[in-house]
Amino acid sequence: MEVYLDNSATTKAFLEVAELVKKLMCEDYGNPSSLHRKGVQAENHLRYAKETFAKILKVSEKEIYFTSVGTESDNLALIGCALANRRKGMHLITTQIEHPAVLQTMKYLESLGFRVTYLPVDRSGCIRLEDLKNAMTAETILVSIMHTNNEVGSLQPIAEAGELIKRMNPSTLFHVDAVQGFGKAKIYPKKMHIDLLSASGHKIHGPKGVGLLYIQEKVKIQAINYGGGQQMNLRSGTENVPGIAGMAKAAELLYGSLDQDLEQLYRCKQHFIDGVRRIEGVQVNGLPDCKCVERTAPHVVSVSFAGVRSEVLLHALEEAGIYVSAGSACSAHKPQPSATLKAMGVDPKLLSSTIRFSFSVFTTMEELDYTLQVLYDKIPMLRKYTRRA
Question: How is residue 186 annotated by DSSP?
Answer: -
CA dist 316 and 66 (Å) reads 39
2 versus 319: smaller Cβ distance to another protein: 319
CA dist 100 and 113 (Å) reads 19
221 versus 322: smaller Cβ distance to another protein: 322
CA dist 389 and 387 (Å) reads 6
Q: How far is CA 377 from CA 111, 247, 374, 382, in A?
A: 50, 39, 5, 9
- How many residues sit close enough to another protein to count as binding (CB under 8 A)? 15
Residues acting as catalytic residues: 330
The 3-state DSSP class for residue 104 equals helix
Contact residue for another protein among 36, 37, 87, 388 (CB under 8 A): 388
CA dist 62 and 314 (Å) reads 44
Contact residue for another protein among 2, 130, 217, 319 (CB under 8 A): 319
Look at the chain and count its residues: 389
Contact residue for another protein among 19, 27, 294, 318 (CB under 8 A): 318
Is 315 among the residues that bind another protein (CB under 8 A)? yes
Minimum distance from residue 334 beta carbon to another protein (Å): 7
CA dist 199 and 158 (Å) reads 15
CA dist 157 and 185 (Å) reads 13
Is 389 among the residues that bind another protein (CB under 8 A)? yes
Is 311 among the residues that bind another protein (CB under 8 A)? yes
The contact pattern for another protein, residues 219-238, with x = CB under 8 A and - = no contact, is --------------------
Is 312 among the residues that bind another protein (CB under 8 A)? yes
CA dist 101 and 251 (Å) reads 22
Minimum distance from residue 67 beta carbon to another protein (Å): 29
Is 316 among the residues that bind another protein (CB under 8 A)? yes
CA dist 272 and 362 (Å) reads 15
CB 50 within 8 Å of CB 65: no
Is the Cα torsion angle 154, 156, 68, 211 positive or negative in sign? positive
| Selected range binding another protein among 72-80, 248-256, 309-317, 356-364, rule: CB under 8 A | 309-317
145 versus 313: smaller Cβ distance to another protein: 313
Is 335 among the residues that bind another protein (CB under 8 A)? yes
Minimum distance from residue 10 beta carbon to another protein (Å): 17
Minimum distance from residue 320 beta carbon to another protein (Å): 10
Contact residue for another protein among 26, 37, 170, 385 (CB under 8 A): 385
336 versus 373: smaller Cβ distance to another protein: 336
CB 276 within 8 Å of CB 282: yes
Is 377 among the residues that bind another protein (CB under 8 A)? no
Beta-carbon-side half-sphere exposure of residue 191 (alpha carbons within 13 Å):
5
Is 2 among the residues that bind another protein (CB under 8 A)? no
Q: Angle at CA 96, nearest 5°, toward 95 and 97? A: 90
CB 328 within 8 Å of CB 338: yes
CA dist 134 and 223 (Å) reads 31
215 versus 313: smaller Cβ distance to another protein: 313
| Selected range binding another protein among 46-54, 79-87, 150-158, 306-314, rule: CB under 8 A | 306-314
Contact residue for another protein among 314, 322, 324, 379 (CB under 8 A): 314
CB 383 within 8 Å of CB 353: no
185 versus 330: smaller Cβ distance to another protein: 330
Binding site for another protein (CB under 8 A): 311-316, 318-319, 334-335, 385-389
